[in-house]
Structures are given as C-alpha cells and as structure tokens.
Amino acid sequence: MEYIKFRKAMVQDAKTIQQLINSYARRDLMLPRSLNEIYENIRDHIVCEIDGKVAGVCALHILWEDLAEIRSLAVNRDAQRKGIGSKLVRRALREAKALGVRKVFVLTYQPDFFRNLGFQDIEKSTLPQKIWGDCLRCHKFPECDEHALIKEIF
C-alpha cells in the first residue's frame, strides 16, 4: 500500500521539482524552469509525495489582485493515472480561493485535462499581465502554441 501525501514544497524539494518539470520540458510537453526560478518561487509549489518521495508538483503563481496561474504541473510517469494531477490542481484552486483570487488560468499542451476540471478556453490576448510579463521572456514568444484556459472560482 502506497502512502500518498500532499504538502507545500520546501527548499530541499527544489532540485527534485526541477528534474521532474524539465523531464517533460525536454520532450516539449511544458516549459523548462531554472533552479533559480524554482527557489525564488518555492512557496508557489505544492508537491505530492508517494512513500516519502516527490512524485508530482503543481505551482500556483499570483499575477494580479484577481488573477493567478497554475503552472508546472508534472507527475512522475510511474505515478500517473492515480488522480495525482487532478488533486494537485484542486489543491491549488482551493489555495487561490483562500487567498481571494477570483480567476485562475493555465497555458498548457493538455487542454482536455483542464477542461475536465472545469476550465474554459480563452484567448491568450485576454491575459495582458501574463503576456507582457513571463511570455516576453519565453523562448517560444511570440509563436506560442500553448492553449489558454481559465476558471472562475468565486
């Protein structure tokens, strides 16, 4: 029987989080994250542990008074199909609600996963804080091929 636990990330998780995220980035399934970026934003991250080892991660990044982004959702291959990704997203949404955030969006290559969690498609152009913030630094800008989805949580 596996012991599954969800918790806020700690500094000592940063390297494991980066390895997990970048294993997907190497296959062009998500954007890579530097170790520095993960350390600077460690409080954004929620992890899932299975038997004491980090098996999944999701970040909730606040962008504006009423807008946050779910980013860097990744689950180890051997831990997939157990509902971990959905549970991580739901935890991030509960955290957003507790913080008073009204809308949470995602840029993703897996839009159906998020649609199944109640997110709806939107145009990226409706996300000005995101487009002119992080997107300008992205190696794919302006030819972004990710799907934008949003969920209102109030």
The per-residue pLDDT for range 57-103, each reduced to its tens digit, is: 999 999 888 999 999 999 998 888 889 999 999 999 999 999 999 99
- Which DSSP helix (H) or strand (E) runs through 63? strand 53-64
Q: Which residues on neighbouring strands pair with residue 106, listed in sequence order?
A: 149
Between strands 147-152 and 103-108, the pairing is antiparallel
Rg of the chain over Cα atoms, rounded to whole angstroms, equals: 15
What proportion of the chain, given as a percentage, has pLDDT over 90? 69
Confidence of residue 127 (pLDDT cuts 50, 70, 90): confident
Contact present, 104 and 92 (Cβ < 8 Å)? yes
Contact between residue 65 and residue 102 where contact means Cβ atoms under 8 Å apart: no
Q: Give residues with Cβ within 8 angstroms of 67, minimum separation 6.
A: 101, 102, 103, 104, 105, 127, 129, 130
As assigned by CATH, the class of the 4-152 domain is: alpha beta
Establish how many alpha carbons lie within 13 A of residue 132's alpha carbon, considering only the half-sphere containing its beta carbon.
6
